[in-house]
Structure 1
Amino acid sequence: MRPVVRTDGAGAASDPLFSGASGAYLGLLLAPPIVPGLKWVGVTEAWALYAALVGTVTAVTTVIGWLLSSRPAVAVTVGATRARWLPAAIAAVYAAVGFASLEMSGVSGVLAFFFGLLAVLLGVAVAVMSQTRYTAAVTAGAEELTRWRASWPESAQRRRLHVGGAIASVATIGFAVGAVFDIALLQYISQVLFPSGFVLLSTGGTRTVVATERGLEVRLPIARRFYAWEELESYELDAESLVITRRWGTALRFATADIDDVSLAEWTLAERLSDD
Protein backbone atom coordinates (compact mmCIF):
# COMPACT_ATOMS: atom_id res chain seq x y z
CA MET A 1 0.00 0.00 0.00
CA ARG A 2 1.37 3.40 -0.96
CA PRO A 3 1.87 6.10 1.67
CA VAL A 4 -0.99 8.55 2.05
CA VAL A 5 -0.09 12.17 1.38
CA ARG A 6 -2.02 15.34 1.89
CA THR A 7 -3.82 16.44 -1.25
CA ASP A 8 -5.68 19.46 0.07
CA GLY A 9 -3.24 21.76 -1.73
CA ALA A 10 -2.47 23.80 1.35
CA GLY A 11 0.59 25.90 0.73
CA ALA A 12 1.13 24.39 -2.73
CA ALA A 13 2.08 26.58 -5.65
CA SER A 14 0.17 26.62 -8.92
CA ASP A 15 1.25 24.14 -11.57
CA PRO A 16 0.85 25.70 -15.04
CA LEU A 17 2.87 22.99 -16.82
CA PHE A 18 0.70 20.09 -15.67
CA SER A 19 -2.54 22.04 -16.09
CA GLY A 20 -1.55 23.25 -19.56
CA ALA A 21 -0.61 19.76 -20.75
CA SER A 22 -3.85 18.35 -19.35
CA GLY A 23 -5.88 21.04 -21.09
CA ALA A 24 -4.10 20.51 -24.41
CA TYR A 25 -4.70 16.76 -24.11
CA LEU A 26 -8.45 17.23 -23.73
CA GLY A 27 -8.49 19.87 -26.44
CA LEU A 28 -6.93 17.46 -28.95
CA LEU A 29 -9.55 14.82 -28.19
CA LEU A 30 -12.51 17.19 -28.34
CA ALA A 31 -11.52 19.08 -31.50
CA PRO A 32 -11.98 16.45 -34.29
CA PRO A 33 -15.72 15.83 -33.62
CA ILE A 34 -16.28 19.55 -34.27
CA VAL A 35 -15.66 19.05 -38.01
CA PRO A 36 -18.55 16.66 -38.79
CA GLY A 37 -20.77 18.73 -36.52
CA LEU A 38 -20.07 21.90 -38.49
CA LYS A 39 -20.50 20.11 -41.81
CA TRP A 40 -23.85 18.79 -40.62
CA VAL A 41 -25.08 22.36 -40.08
CA GLY A 42 -23.76 23.45 -43.48
CA VAL A 43 -20.33 24.93 -42.67
CA THR A 44 -17.90 23.55 -45.25
CA GLU A 45 -15.38 26.38 -45.83
CA ALA A 46 -11.84 25.24 -45.07
CA TRP A 47 -10.95 28.40 -43.16
CA ALA A 48 -14.00 28.05 -40.93
CA LEU A 49 -13.24 24.41 -40.12
CA TYR A 50 -9.61 25.26 -39.41
CA ALA A 51 -10.61 28.15 -37.16
CA ALA A 52 -13.04 25.90 -35.31
CA LEU A 53 -10.33 23.30 -34.69
CA VAL A 54 -7.80 25.83 -33.45
CA GLY A 55 -10.44 27.63 -31.41
CA THR A 56 -11.62 24.43 -29.74
CA VAL A 57 -8.11 23.32 -28.78
CA THR A 58 -7.28 26.81 -27.51
CA ALA A 59 -10.50 27.21 -25.54
CA VAL A 60 -10.35 23.79 -23.90
CA THR A 61 -6.66 24.22 -23.06
CA THR A 62 -7.33 27.61 -21.51
CA VAL A 63 -10.35 26.55 -19.47
CA ILE A 64 -8.91 23.28 -18.18
CA GLY A 65 -5.55 24.92 -17.57
CA TRP A 66 -7.21 27.64 -15.52
CA LEU A 67 -9.26 25.15 -13.52
CA LEU A 68 -6.28 22.92 -12.69
CA SER A 69 -3.65 25.62 -12.19
CA SER A 70 -5.12 26.46 -8.79
CA ARG A 71 -5.53 22.79 -7.86
CA PRO A 72 -2.01 21.29 -7.78
CA ALA A 73 -3.28 18.51 -5.52
CA VAL A 74 -4.97 16.95 -8.56
CA ALA A 75 -1.59 16.01 -10.03
CA VAL A 76 -0.51 14.42 -6.74
CA THR A 77 -3.73 12.41 -6.50
CA VAL A 78 -3.46 11.18 -10.09
CA GLY A 79 0.22 10.33 -9.70
CA ALA A 80 -0.48 8.09 -6.70
CA THR A 81 -2.32 5.48 -8.79
CA ARG A 82 -1.72 3.53 -11.98
CA ALA A 83 -4.74 5.33 -13.41
CA ARG A 84 -2.28 8.06 -14.40
CA TRP A 85 -1.62 6.04 -17.57
CA LEU A 86 -5.32 5.91 -18.49
CA PRO A 87 -5.30 9.17 -20.54
CA ALA A 88 -2.54 7.84 -22.79
CA ALA A 89 -4.42 4.55 -23.25
CA ILE A 90 -7.66 6.37 -24.09
CA ALA A 91 -5.84 8.52 -26.65
CA ALA A 92 -4.32 5.41 -28.26
CA VAL A 93 -7.78 3.86 -28.65
CA TYR A 94 -9.05 7.19 -29.99
CA ALA A 95 -6.32 7.24 -32.64
CA ALA A 96 -7.01 3.61 -33.57
CA VAL A 97 -10.72 4.33 -34.01
CA GLY A 98 -9.86 7.34 -36.16
CA PHE A 99 -7.61 5.21 -38.36
CA ALA A 100 -10.21 2.45 -38.67
CA SER A 101 -12.82 4.99 -39.80
CA LEU A 102 -10.70 6.72 -42.45
CA GLU A 103 -12.70 5.43 -45.42
CA MET A 104 -16.03 6.20 -43.81
CA SER A 105 -15.33 9.52 -42.09
CA GLY A 106 -12.70 11.04 -44.37
CA VAL A 107 -11.00 14.12 -42.96
CA SER A 108 -12.58 13.60 -39.54
CA GLY A 109 -10.90 10.21 -39.28
CA VAL A 110 -7.55 11.67 -40.33
CA LEU A 111 -7.84 14.38 -37.70
CA ALA A 112 -8.88 11.88 -35.04
CA PHE A 113 -5.90 9.69 -35.89
CA PHE A 114 -3.25 12.39 -35.83
CA PHE A 115 -4.75 14.34 -32.94
CA GLY A 116 -5.03 11.04 -31.08
CA LEU A 117 -1.33 10.33 -31.60
CA LEU A 118 -0.45 13.78 -30.29
CA ALA A 119 -2.77 13.18 -27.34
CA VAL A 120 -0.93 9.93 -26.59
CA LEU A 121 2.29 11.90 -26.20
CA LEU A 122 0.58 14.44 -23.97
CA GLY A 123 -1.06 11.63 -22.00
CA VAL A 124 2.35 10.11 -21.32
CA ALA A 125 3.67 13.55 -20.33
CA VAL A 126 0.75 14.05 -17.93
CA ALA A 127 1.39 10.62 -16.39
CA VAL A 128 5.10 11.31 -15.89
CA MET A 129 4.47 14.78 -14.47
CA SER A 130 1.82 13.53 -12.04
CA GLN A 131 4.10 10.68 -10.93
CA THR A 132 6.91 13.18 -10.31
CA ARG A 133 4.64 15.44 -8.28
CA TYR A 134 3.39 12.53 -6.19
CA THR A 135 6.98 11.45 -5.54
CA ALA A 136 7.92 14.95 -4.42
CA ALA A 137 4.92 15.06 -2.08
CA VAL A 138 5.39 11.63 -0.51
CA THR A 139 9.14 12.06 0.07
CA ALA A 140 8.93 15.60 1.44
CA GLY A 141 10.37 15.56 4.95
CA ALA A 142 11.18 11.83 4.85
CA GLU A 143 14.39 10.75 6.55
CA GLU A 144 17.08 9.81 4.04
CA LEU A 145 18.83 6.52 4.79
CA THR A 146 21.28 6.39 1.90
CA ARG A 147 21.60 7.24 -1.75
CA TRP A 148 23.54 6.03 -4.73
CA ARG A 149 24.02 6.99 -8.35
CA ALA A 150 24.39 4.23 -10.91
CA SER A 151 23.72 3.34 -14.52
CA TRP A 152 22.21 0.14 -15.87
CA PRO A 153 24.33 -3.03 -15.66
CA GLU A 154 26.30 -3.62 -18.83
CA SER A 155 24.32 -6.72 -19.85
CA ALA A 156 20.97 -4.97 -19.37
CA GLN A 157 22.24 -1.93 -21.22
CA ARG A 158 23.24 -4.07 -24.19
CA ARG A 159 19.81 -5.69 -24.29
CA ARG A 160 18.09 -2.29 -24.28
CA LEU A 161 20.32 -1.02 -27.07
CA HIS A 162 19.79 -4.13 -29.19
CA VAL A 163 16.01 -4.16 -28.76
CA GLY A 164 15.67 -0.40 -29.18
CA GLY A 165 17.90 -0.37 -32.24
CA ALA A 166 16.01 -3.26 -33.80
CA ILE A 167 12.63 -1.56 -33.28
CA ALA A 168 13.87 1.77 -34.63
CA SER A 169 15.47 0.08 -37.65
CA VAL A 170 12.38 -1.96 -38.48
CA ALA A 171 10.21 1.15 -38.13
CA THR A 172 12.50 3.16 -40.43
CA ILE A 173 12.57 0.44 -43.08
CA GLY A 174 8.83 -0.09 -42.76
CA PHE A 175 8.13 3.61 -43.26
CA ALA A 176 10.39 3.72 -46.33
CA VAL A 177 8.73 0.66 -47.86
CA GLY A 178 5.30 2.07 -47.11
CA ALA A 179 6.22 5.37 -48.75
CA VAL A 180 7.64 3.71 -51.88
CA PHE A 181 4.71 1.33 -52.38
CA ASP A 182 2.08 3.72 -51.02
CA ILE A 183 1.04 1.47 -48.12
CA ALA A 184 -0.53 3.88 -45.65
CA LEU A 185 -1.05 1.33 -42.88
CA LEU A 186 2.63 0.37 -42.88
CA GLN A 187 3.64 4.02 -42.70
CA TYR A 188 1.31 4.69 -39.75
CA ILE A 189 2.48 1.62 -37.83
CA SER A 190 6.12 2.57 -38.42
CA GLN A 191 5.50 6.08 -37.12
CA VAL A 192 4.08 4.62 -33.92
CA LEU A 193 6.89 2.06 -33.49
CA PHE A 194 9.82 4.42 -34.04
CA PRO A 195 9.35 6.48 -30.85
CA SER A 196 9.22 3.25 -28.82
CA GLY A 197 12.62 2.19 -30.12
CA PHE A 198 14.02 5.68 -29.61
CA VAL A 199 12.87 5.69 -25.98
CA LEU A 200 14.72 2.43 -25.31
CA LEU A 201 17.85 3.83 -26.94
CA SER A 202 17.81 7.06 -24.93
CA THR A 203 16.71 6.01 -21.43
CA GLY A 204 19.59 3.85 -20.28
CA GLY A 205 21.53 6.58 -18.48
CA THR A 206 22.56 7.15 -14.90
CA ARG A 207 19.90 7.36 -12.19
CA THR A 208 20.05 8.59 -8.62
CA VAL A 209 18.34 6.44 -6.00
CA VAL A 210 17.39 7.88 -2.62
CA ALA A 211 16.38 5.37 0.05
CA THR A 212 14.11 6.88 2.69
CA GLU A 213 12.05 5.55 5.56
CA ARG A 214 9.06 5.46 3.21
CA GLY A 215 10.60 3.75 0.19
CA LEU A 216 12.92 4.19 -2.77
CA GLU A 217 12.92 7.31 -4.89
CA VAL A 218 14.47 6.99 -8.36
CA ARG A 219 15.48 10.30 -9.89
CA LEU A 220 15.75 10.51 -13.66
CA PRO A 221 16.85 13.57 -15.64
CA ILE A 222 13.26 14.72 -16.24
CA ALA A 223 11.19 12.65 -13.82
CA ARG A 224 11.04 11.12 -10.36
CA ARG A 225 9.53 7.78 -9.37
CA PHE A 226 8.63 6.42 -5.95
CA TYR A 227 8.41 2.80 -4.83
CA ALA A 228 7.09 2.14 -1.32
CA TRP A 229 8.89 -0.63 0.55
CA GLU A 230 5.67 -2.66 0.42
CA GLU A 231 5.86 -2.61 -3.39
CA LEU A 232 9.34 -4.16 -3.40
CA GLU A 233 9.85 -7.86 -2.81
CA SER A 234 13.54 -8.75 -2.65
CA TYR A 235 17.00 -7.83 -3.85
CA GLU A 236 19.97 -9.64 -5.35
CA LEU A 237 23.52 -8.33 -5.34
CA ASP A 238 26.55 -9.63 -7.23
CA ALA A 239 29.71 -8.20 -8.73
CA GLU A 240 27.92 -6.91 -11.82
CA SER A 241 24.51 -5.71 -10.70
CA LEU A 242 22.12 -4.84 -7.91
CA VAL A 243 18.65 -6.09 -8.82
CA ILE A 244 15.62 -5.02 -6.77
CA THR A 245 12.55 -7.11 -7.57
CA ARG A 246 9.15 -5.44 -7.48
CA ARG A 247 5.95 -7.26 -6.53
CA TRP A 248 4.45 -6.02 -9.78
CA GLY A 249 6.37 -4.73 -12.77
CA THR A 250 9.93 -4.92 -14.03
CA ALA A 251 12.86 -5.13 -11.63
CA LEU A 252 15.12 -2.18 -10.85
CA ARG A 253 18.68 -2.83 -12.05
CA PHE A 254 21.85 -0.92 -11.22
CA ALA A 255 25.53 -1.44 -12.00
CA THR A 256 27.28 -2.46 -8.77
CA ALA A 257 30.56 -0.82 -9.80
CA ASP A 258 28.85 2.60 -9.95
CA ILE A 259 27.56 2.50 -6.36
CA ASP A 260 29.90 4.39 -4.02
CA ASP A 261 28.94 2.62 -0.78
CA VAL A 262 27.70 -0.83 -1.71
CA SER A 263 27.75 -2.03 1.90
CA LEU A 264 25.44 0.73 3.11
CA ALA A 265 23.08 0.22 0.18
CA GLU A 266 22.95 -3.52 0.86
CA TRP A 267 22.40 -3.01 4.59
CA THR A 268 19.52 -0.63 3.91
CA LEU A 269 17.85 -3.10 1.56
CA ALA A 270 18.53 -6.09 3.84
CA GLU A 271 16.74 -4.35 6.71
CA ARG A 272 13.55 -4.10 4.63
CA LEU A 273 13.67 -6.75 1.90
CA SER A 274 14.58 -10.40 1.62
CA ASP A 275 17.88 -11.41 0.03
CA ASP A 276 17.50 -13.80 -2.89
Structure 2
Amino acid sequence: MHERVHQPAPQSPDRPDTVFALVAGLYAALLLSPAVVFAAAVAYPLGAGALYIALLAVLTAITTAGTVAVGRVRGVVERIGASRVARGLAVLPVLGMVGYGVAAASVDAPGTDGVVAAGIVLSGVGIATGMALVAMSRTRYARAVVEDESVRAEWKAGWPQPRRMRIQIGAVTLYLAGAALLFGGEFVGLGAYEWIGALAFVPGGAGLGWGQPRAYRLAPAGIERSNYVHRRLYEWDGFASVSVSEDAVVLYRESWWRPAFRCWREEIDDPDALIDALDDHLPRA
Protein backbone atom coordinates (compact mmCIF):
# COMPACT_ATOMS: atom_id res chain seq x y z
CA MET A 1 0.00 0.00 0.00
CA HIS A 2 1.37 3.39 -1.01
CA GLU A 3 0.78 5.98 1.70
CA ARG A 4 0.83 9.53 0.35
CA VAL A 5 0.24 12.23 2.93
CA HIS A 6 -0.01 15.98 2.60
CA GLN A 7 1.32 17.56 5.76
CA PRO A 8 -0.38 20.86 6.65
CA ALA A 9 1.73 23.68 7.97
CA PRO A 10 1.97 23.29 11.76
CA GLN A 11 0.67 26.12 13.86
CA SER A 12 3.74 26.89 15.92
CA PRO A 13 3.05 28.18 19.43
CA ASP A 14 6.23 30.20 19.17
CA ARG A 15 6.68 33.53 17.49
CA PRO A 16 9.29 33.88 14.72
CA ASP A 17 12.88 34.15 15.88
CA THR A 18 14.51 37.57 15.86
CA VAL A 19 16.72 36.89 12.84
CA PHE A 20 13.80 35.87 10.63
CA ALA A 21 11.69 38.81 11.79
CA LEU A 22 14.55 41.24 11.11
CA VAL A 23 15.17 39.87 7.61
CA ALA A 24 11.44 40.05 6.87
CA GLY A 25 11.32 43.66 8.06
CA LEU A 26 14.34 44.55 5.95
CA TYR A 27 12.74 42.87 2.93
CA ALA A 28 9.61 44.98 3.32
CA ALA A 29 11.72 48.13 3.69
CA LEU A 30 13.73 47.38 0.55
CA LEU A 31 10.53 47.04 -1.46
CA LEU A 32 8.51 49.91 -0.02
CA SER A 33 10.94 52.65 1.03
CA PRO A 34 11.95 53.91 -2.45
CA ALA A 35 8.30 53.98 -3.53
CA VAL A 36 7.33 56.06 -0.48
CA VAL A 37 10.18 58.53 -1.02
CA PHE A 38 9.47 58.68 -4.76
CA ALA A 39 5.84 59.61 -4.11
CA ALA A 40 6.97 62.26 -1.61
CA ALA A 41 9.47 63.68 -4.12
CA VAL A 42 6.76 64.02 -6.76
CA ALA A 43 4.41 65.80 -4.35
CA TYR A 44 7.04 67.89 -2.57
CA PRO A 45 10.25 68.55 -4.58
CA LEU A 46 13.29 68.09 -2.35
CA GLY A 47 17.02 68.42 -2.76
CA ALA A 48 19.35 65.45 -3.09
CA GLY A 49 20.48 65.67 0.53
CA ALA A 50 16.94 65.78 1.87
CA LEU A 51 15.93 62.82 -0.31
CA TYR A 52 18.88 60.80 0.96
CA ILE A 53 17.99 61.50 4.59
CA ALA A 54 14.33 60.73 3.87
CA LEU A 55 15.22 57.41 2.28
CA LEU A 56 17.37 56.39 5.26
CA ALA A 57 14.63 57.42 7.68
CA VAL A 58 11.91 55.51 5.82
CA LEU A 59 14.16 52.45 5.47
CA THR A 60 14.78 52.45 9.21
CA ALA A 61 11.13 53.02 10.09
CA ILE A 62 9.75 50.29 7.83
CA THR A 63 12.44 47.81 8.89
CA THR A 64 11.63 48.43 12.55
CA ALA A 65 7.87 48.27 12.06
CA GLY A 66 8.10 45.17 9.88
CA THR A 67 10.36 43.39 12.35
CA VAL A 68 7.99 44.07 15.23
CA ALA A 69 4.90 43.11 13.21
CA VAL A 70 6.30 39.84 11.86
CA GLY A 71 7.72 38.95 15.25
CA ARG A 72 4.21 38.96 16.75
CA VAL A 73 2.59 36.57 14.24
CA ARG A 74 2.67 32.98 15.46
CA GLY A 75 3.19 30.32 12.82
CA VAL A 76 3.97 32.75 10.00
CA VAL A 77 7.35 31.13 9.31
CA GLU A 78 5.85 27.67 8.89
CA ARG A 79 3.02 28.95 6.69
CA ILE A 80 5.49 30.66 4.37
CA GLY A 81 7.76 27.62 4.33
CA ALA A 82 4.88 25.30 3.45
CA SER A 83 3.52 27.55 0.72
CA ARG A 84 4.20 26.62 -2.89
CA VAL A 85 4.29 30.29 -3.84
CA ALA A 86 7.00 31.17 -1.32
CA ARG A 87 9.47 31.71 -4.14
CA GLY A 88 7.37 34.72 -5.13
CA LEU A 89 9.27 36.59 -2.42
CA ALA A 90 12.25 36.61 -4.77
CA VAL A 91 10.11 37.65 -7.76
CA LEU A 92 8.39 40.68 -6.23
CA PRO A 93 11.57 42.81 -6.26
CA VAL A 94 11.91 42.13 -9.99
CA LEU A 95 8.48 43.67 -10.48
CA GLY A 96 9.70 46.59 -8.40
CA MET A 97 12.62 47.07 -10.77
CA VAL A 98 10.23 47.14 -13.71
CA GLY A 99 8.02 49.63 -11.90
CA TYR A 100 10.92 51.99 -11.21
CA GLY A 101 11.98 51.73 -14.84
CA VAL A 102 8.50 52.72 -15.97
CA ALA A 103 8.48 55.57 -13.45
CA ALA A 104 11.81 56.85 -14.75
CA ALA A 105 10.44 56.96 -18.30
CA SER A 106 7.06 58.49 -17.49
CA VAL A 107 7.58 60.85 -14.52
CA ASP A 108 9.58 64.06 -14.85
CA ALA A 109 9.99 65.61 -11.43
CA PRO A 110 13.05 67.18 -9.75
CA GLY A 111 15.07 64.74 -7.68
CA THR A 112 13.24 61.61 -8.76
CA ASP A 113 16.10 60.25 -10.88
CA GLY A 114 18.19 59.52 -7.81
CA VAL A 115 15.26 57.88 -6.03
CA VAL A 116 14.57 55.68 -9.06
CA ALA A 117 18.22 54.62 -9.19
CA ALA A 118 18.14 53.84 -5.47
CA GLY A 119 14.92 51.89 -5.96
CA ILE A 120 16.47 49.73 -8.66
CA VAL A 121 19.55 49.03 -6.53
CA LEU A 122 17.50 48.25 -3.42
CA SER A 123 15.22 46.00 -5.47
CA GLY A 124 18.33 44.07 -6.51
CA VAL A 125 19.23 43.66 -2.85
CA GLY A 126 15.61 42.69 -2.25
CA ILE A 127 15.95 39.75 -4.65
CA ALA A 128 18.78 38.32 -2.55
CA THR A 129 16.89 39.08 0.66
CA GLY A 130 13.77 37.40 -0.69
CA MET A 131 15.76 34.30 -1.59
CA ALA A 132 17.18 34.27 1.93
CA LEU A 133 13.66 34.52 3.38
CA VAL A 134 12.50 31.58 1.26
CA ALA A 135 15.45 29.46 2.38
CA MET A 136 14.99 30.42 6.04
CA SER A 137 11.25 29.71 6.05
CA ARG A 138 11.63 26.35 4.30
CA THR A 139 14.37 25.31 6.69
CA ARG A 140 12.27 26.21 9.71
CA TYR A 141 9.23 24.45 8.26
CA ALA A 142 11.20 21.26 7.64
CA ARG A 143 12.61 21.44 11.16
CA ALA A 144 9.10 21.79 12.60
CA VAL A 145 7.58 18.89 10.62
CA VAL A 146 10.35 16.28 10.40
CA GLU A 147 11.11 14.75 13.79
CA ASP A 148 14.38 12.87 14.08
CA GLU A 149 12.78 9.78 15.58
CA SER A 150 10.32 9.49 12.67
CA VAL A 151 13.03 9.39 9.99
CA ARG A 152 13.10 5.96 8.37
CA ALA A 153 16.03 6.38 5.99
CA GLU A 154 18.91 8.79 5.52
CA TRP A 155 21.30 8.99 2.60
CA LYS A 156 23.55 11.33 0.69
CA ALA A 157 23.90 11.03 -3.07
CA GLY A 158 24.24 12.97 -6.28
CA TRP A 159 23.38 12.23 -9.87
CA PRO A 160 24.90 9.11 -11.41
CA GLN A 161 28.19 9.26 -13.22
CA PRO A 162 28.99 10.02 -16.03
CA ARG A 163 25.92 12.29 -16.35
CA ARG A 164 27.10 14.36 -13.41
CA MET A 165 30.49 14.85 -15.04
CA ARG A 166 28.92 15.96 -18.33
CA ILE A 167 26.76 18.50 -16.52
CA GLN A 168 29.74 19.87 -14.62
CA ILE A 169 31.86 20.18 -17.77
CA GLY A 170 29.05 22.03 -19.53
CA ALA A 171 28.40 24.32 -16.54
CA VAL A 172 32.08 25.19 -16.08
CA THR A 173 32.44 25.89 -19.79
CA LEU A 174 29.42 28.21 -19.80
CA TYR A 175 30.55 29.92 -16.61
CA LEU A 176 34.13 30.60 -17.68
CA ALA A 177 33.29 31.55 -21.26
CA GLY A 178 30.48 33.81 -20.08
CA ALA A 179 32.70 35.45 -17.46
CA ALA A 180 35.46 36.05 -20.02
CA LEU A 181 33.05 37.66 -22.49
CA LEU A 182 31.10 39.61 -19.87
CA PHE A 183 34.06 41.07 -17.99
CA GLY A 184 36.78 41.00 -20.63
CA GLY A 185 34.98 41.43 -23.92
CA GLU A 186 35.54 45.18 -23.96
CA PHE A 187 39.31 44.71 -23.96
CA VAL A 188 39.36 42.49 -27.05
CA GLY A 189 36.85 44.37 -29.18
CA LEU A 190 33.83 42.25 -28.22
CA GLY A 191 32.10 44.74 -25.95
CA ALA A 192 28.95 44.65 -28.07
CA TYR A 193 28.53 40.97 -27.15
CA GLU A 194 28.79 41.30 -23.39
CA TRP A 195 25.06 40.51 -23.09
CA ILE A 196 25.75 37.07 -24.56
CA GLY A 197 28.36 36.58 -21.84
CA ALA A 198 25.75 37.44 -19.21
CA LEU A 199 23.33 34.90 -20.71
CA ALA A 200 26.01 32.21 -20.39
CA PHE A 201 27.51 33.33 -17.08
CA VAL A 202 24.31 33.19 -14.99
CA PRO A 203 23.05 29.69 -15.96
CA GLY A 204 26.61 28.40 -15.96
CA GLY A 205 27.07 29.52 -12.37
CA ALA A 206 23.72 28.04 -11.37
CA GLY A 207 24.60 24.78 -13.12
CA LEU A 208 27.73 24.29 -11.04
CA GLY A 209 25.55 22.84 -8.30
CA TRP A 210 23.45 20.56 -10.50
CA GLY A 211 23.89 16.89 -9.83
CA GLN A 212 26.06 17.38 -6.75
CA PRO A 213 25.45 15.19 -3.68
CA ARG A 214 22.60 16.25 -1.41
CA ALA A 215 21.55 14.91 1.97
CA TYR A 216 18.12 13.25 2.10
CA ARG A 217 15.86 12.03 4.87
CA LEU A 218 12.71 9.95 4.38
CA ALA A 219 9.94 10.77 6.86
CA PRO A 220 6.18 10.17 7.07
CA ALA A 221 5.55 13.68 5.75
CA GLY A 222 7.82 13.35 2.71
CA ILE A 223 11.42 13.66 1.59
CA GLU A 224 13.64 16.24 3.23
CA ARG A 225 16.52 17.42 1.05
CA SER A 226 19.29 19.65 2.34
CA ASN A 227 22.60 21.18 1.39
CA TYR A 228 25.05 23.40 3.20
CA VAL A 229 22.65 26.36 3.14
CA HIS A 230 19.11 25.19 3.83
CA ARG A 231 16.67 22.31 4.20
CA ARG A 232 13.43 21.74 2.34
CA LEU A 233 10.61 19.25 2.80
CA TYR A 234 8.99 17.80 -0.34
CA GLU A 235 5.67 16.21 0.61
CA TRP A 236 4.67 12.84 -0.80
CA ASP A 237 1.82 14.22 -2.89
CA GLY A 238 4.44 16.12 -4.90
CA PHE A 239 5.93 12.86 -6.20
CA ALA A 240 4.50 10.63 -8.93
CA SER A 241 6.62 7.47 -8.78
CA VAL A 242 10.03 5.96 -8.18
CA SER A 243 12.23 3.95 -10.50
CA VAL A 244 15.13 1.70 -9.57
CA SER A 245 17.95 0.68 -11.89
CA GLU A 246 21.41 -0.78 -11.47
CA ASP A 247 22.98 2.65 -11.11
CA ALA A 248 20.29 4.99 -9.78
CA VAL A 249 17.19 5.50 -7.66
CA VAL A 250 15.04 8.17 -9.30
CA LEU A 251 12.07 9.92 -7.67
CA TYR A 252 9.83 11.50 -10.30
CA ARG A 253 7.87 14.62 -9.46
CA GLU A 254 4.13 14.98 -10.00
CA SER A 255 4.63 18.00 -12.26
CA TRP A 256 6.50 17.11 -15.44
CA TRP A 257 8.56 20.31 -15.48
CA ARG A 258 10.05 19.73 -12.04
CA PRO A 259 13.38 17.87 -12.11
CA ALA A 260 13.45 14.37 -10.68
CA PHE A 261 15.59 13.44 -7.68
CA ARG A 262 18.35 11.25 -9.09
CA CYS A 263 20.50 9.36 -6.60
CA TRP A 264 23.52 7.30 -7.59
CA ARG A 265 23.31 3.92 -5.88
CA GLU A 266 27.08 3.81 -5.41
CA GLU A 267 26.77 6.69 -2.92
CA ILE A 268 23.83 5.24 -0.95
CA ASP A 269 24.96 3.31 2.14
CA ASP A 270 21.97 0.93 2.23
CA PRO A 271 20.07 1.12 -1.08
CA ASP A 272 17.91 -1.93 -0.35
CA ALA A 273 16.51 -0.44 2.87
CA LEU A 274 15.89 2.85 1.09
CA ILE A 275 14.06 1.15 -1.78
CA ASP A 276 11.85 -0.77 0.68
CA ALA A 277 10.95 2.48 2.44
CA LEU A 278 10.19 4.26 -0.85
CA ASP A 279 7.99 1.38 -2.01
CA ASP A 280 5.73 2.02 0.99
CA HIS A 281 4.97 5.52 -0.30
CA LEU A 282 5.40 5.58 -4.08
CA PRO A 283 4.49 3.27 -6.97
CA ARG A 284 7.18 2.05 -9.34
CA ALA A 285 7.53 3.92 -12.62
TM-score with structure 1 setting the length = 0.84
Which shows bigger deviation, 262-271 or 213-222? Answer: 213-222
Q: CA offsets per residue over residues 118-144 of structure 1, 9 Å max, x none?
A: 111111111111111111122136622
The match for 2:10 is 6
Once the 2 structures are TM-superposed, how far is the Cα of residue 158 of structure 1 from its aligned partner? 3.0
Give the distance between the partners of 1:61 and 1:193, measured in 2 at CA: 36
Once the 2 structures are TM-superposed, how far is the Cα of residue 241 of structure 1 from its aligned partner? 2.2
Is the counterpart of residue 238 in structure 1 residue 228 in structure 2?
A: no
Is the counterpart of residue 150 in structure 1 residue 150 in structure 2?
A: no
TM-score with structure 2 setting the length = 0.82
Pairs within 5 Å for 1:110-189: 110-140=117-147, 143-169=150-176, 171-172=178-179, 173-177=181-185, 186=195
Cα RMSD of the aligned pairs, angstroms, is: 3.0
The match for 1:224 is 231
Contact 1:208/1:220 (<8 A) preserved = yes
Pairs within 5 Å for 1:190-209: 190=198, 194=201, 196-202=203-209, 204-209=211-216
Identity %, equivalent residues: 22
* Cα distance change on mapping 1:196 and 1:72 into 2, 3 Å: farther
Give the distance between the partners of 2:24 and 2:203, measured in 1 at CA: 22
* Cα distance change on mapping 1:159 and 1:56 into 2, 3 Å: farther
Once the 2 structures are TM-superposed, how far is the Cα of residue 166 of structure 1 from its aligned partner? 4.8
- The structure, 1 or 2, with the larger RCO (C-alpha pairs under 8 Å, 6+ apart) is 2
Contact 1:38/1:49 (<8 A) preserved = no
* Cα distance change on mapping 1:226 and 1:17 into 2, 3 Å: same
Which shows bigger deviation, 28-37 or 151-160? Answer: 151-160
Give 3-state SS (helix, strand or coil) of 1:174's partner: helix
Give 3-state SS (helix, strand or coil) of 1:221's partner: coil
Give the distance between the partners of 1:194 and 1:98, measured in 2 at CA: 26
Is the counterpart of residue 79 in structure 1 residue 81 in structure 2?
A: yes
Once the 2 structures are TM-superposed, how far is the Cα of residue 259 of structure 1 from its aligned partner? 0.4
Give the distance between the partners of 1:265 and 1:231, measured in 2 at CA: 19
Once the 2 structures are TM-superposed, how far is the Cα of residue 75 of structure 1 from its aligned partner? 0.9
Give the distance between the partners of 1:83 and 1:216, measured in 2 at CA: 19
Q: CA offsets per residue over residues 136-178 of structure 1, 9 Å max, x none?
A: 1221366221111223323443354345335534653235447
Give the distance between the partners of 1:231 and 1:120, measured in 2 at CA: 26
Contact 2:15/2:75 (<8 A) preserved = no
Contact 1:98/1:111 (<8 A) preserved = no
* Cα distance change on mapping 1:66 and 1:206 into 2, 3 Å: same
Give the distance between the partners of 1:101 and 1:158, measured in 2 at CA: 46
Once the 2 structures are TM-superposed, how far is the Cα of residue 245 of structure 1 from its aligned partner? 0.5
Give 3-state SS (helix, strand or coil) of 2:251's partner: strand
Once the 2 structures are TM-superposed, how far is the Cα of residue 207 of structure 1 from its aligned partner? 1.8
Letter of the aligned partner of 2:251 in structure 1? I
The match for 1:95 is 97
The match for 1:260 is 269
> For this pair of structures, how many residues does the alignment match?
272
Task: Could you tell me which runs of 5 or more consecutive residues in structure 1 were left unpaired when the two chains were aligned.
Answer: none
